[in-house]
């Protein structure tokens, strides 16, 4: 299928307008090429070295088994973690991401000319799930549109989205002994299909967790103030000084917000120290 230049320009203009309006646009334009047009050509599957990732974090392997359906695909599905796009998974491929411990949101969307959705609307939402990952653990996520794993993930609720559907959580034993992941090739990033996988996204996860927690606490603060007003523990502002007034007792939500800010400030200092150590303390001219 040939796409005319005016159409591409119009799409780009539309995306810019929507982004400026504050809408969340889901798209993988320039990244969504499928296996039919661009077969995966990376190295055979191999686990990354244990010293290549921090054991205080978790490791996610994504793999997609070979099928004629996937091999004939013009566009491949996008994979999102915590609402951020990282790669499009093509036929017979695998990749990995190092993530921060905690609850991570996984989503997969099928694009149409690179466009996938707007805000809560998705053209084709393949997977929408959360996974609670623990430090030091490795997780295997299998994607296949045609067949399901022969055995379910132990202890996973049958109603969990990762226990059914096209994207499922499987054990290391299943992924390895079935030979499925072993037969896949590394999803390398190139000009035809760039991606942001095979790396650590821990800092991005931590920032997202901070923003999410802060939003929850700010909402909690508003509710706490409403309760104090109902209990008569809130002084309204004077008519001559609109900036006065407030609760007559300390807010528990303020204490939590203050603690959150301290934790995040400490985290940023630790990042700075780590970067300085990795850079060797800077450049010397002699």
- At 3 the pLDDT is 43
The values of phi and psi at residue 145, to 5°, are -80, -20
Helix pair 202-230, 252-278: axis angle to 10 deg: 170
- At 23 the pLDDT is 83
Residues 227, 229: Cα–Cα separation, whole Å: 5
Percent of the chain with pLDDT over 70: 89
Judgement on whether residues 125 and 109 belong to the same structural domain of the protein: yes
Judgement on whether residues 175 and 85 belong to the same structural domain of the protein: yes
Q: How many domains does the structure of the chain reveal? A: 2
Q: How far is CA 274 from the centre of its chain?
A: 23
Domain boundaries, position 240: 206-273
The values of phi and psi at residue 234, to 5°, are -140, 130
The 8-class DSSP code of residue 210 comes to H
Judgement on whether residues 185 and 230 belong to the same structural domain of the protein: no
- At 85 the pLDDT is 98
Residues 198, 50: Cα–Cα separation, whole Å: 14
Judgement on whether residues 232 and 185 belong to the same structural domain of the protein: no
Q: Residue 160: left if φ>0, alpha if ψ -120 to 50, beta else—which one?
A: beta
Judgement on whether residues 226 and 187 belong to the same structural domain of the protein: no
Judgement on whether residues 28 and 131 belong to the same structural domain of the protein: yes
Judgement on whether residues 82 and 134 belong to the same structural domain of the protein: yes
Question: Rounded to two decimals, what is the model's pTM?
Answer: 0.86
Distance separating the N- and C-terminal Cα atoms of the chain? 59
Residues 41, 55: Cα–Cα separation, whole Å: 29
Mean pLDDT by 10 residues, the chain (286 residues): 44 48 86 97 96 97 96 98 98 98 98 94 94 98 94 93 96 94 97 97 98 98 95 83 82 97 97 90 53
Judgement on whether residues 42 and 111 belong to the same structural domain of the protein: yes
163 in a domain, yes or no?
yes
């Amino acid at each position: 299928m040939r796409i005319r230049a005016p159409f591409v320009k119009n799409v780009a203009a539309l995306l810019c307008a929507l982004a400026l309006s504050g809408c969340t646009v889901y798209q993988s334009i320039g990244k969504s090429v499928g296996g039919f047009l661009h077969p995966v050509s990376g190295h055979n599957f191999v686990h990354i070295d244990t010293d290549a990732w921090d054991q205080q974090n978790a490791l996610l392997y994504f793999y997609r088994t070979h099928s004629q359906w996937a091999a004939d695909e013009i566009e491949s599905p996008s994979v999102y973690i915590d609402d951020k796009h990282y790669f499009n998974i093509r036929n017979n491929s695998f990749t990995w991401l190092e993530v921060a411990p905690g609850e991570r949101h996984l989503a997969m969307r099928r694009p149409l000319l690179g466009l996938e959705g707007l805000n809560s609307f998705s053209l084709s939402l393949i997977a929408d799930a959360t996974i609670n990952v623990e430090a030091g653990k490795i997780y295997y996520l299998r994607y296949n549109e045609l067949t399901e794993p022969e055995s379910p993930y132990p202890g996973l609720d049958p109603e969990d989205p990762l226990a059914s559907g096209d994207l499922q959580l499987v054990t290391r034993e299943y992924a390895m002994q079935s030979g499925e992941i072993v037969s896949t090739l590394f999803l390398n990033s190139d000009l035809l299909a760039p991606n942001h996988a095979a790396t650590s996204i821990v800092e991005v996860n931590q920032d997202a967790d901070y923003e999410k927690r802060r939003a929850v606490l700010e909402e909690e603060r508003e509710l706490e103030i409403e309760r104090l007003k109902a209990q008569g523990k809130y002084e309204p502002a004077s008519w001559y000084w609109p900036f006065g007034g407030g609760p007559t007792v300390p807010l528990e939500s303020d204490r939590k917000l203050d603690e959150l800010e301290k934790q995040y400030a400490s985290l940023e200092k630790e990042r700075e120290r780590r970067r300085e150590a990795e850079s060797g303390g800077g450049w010397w001219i002699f």
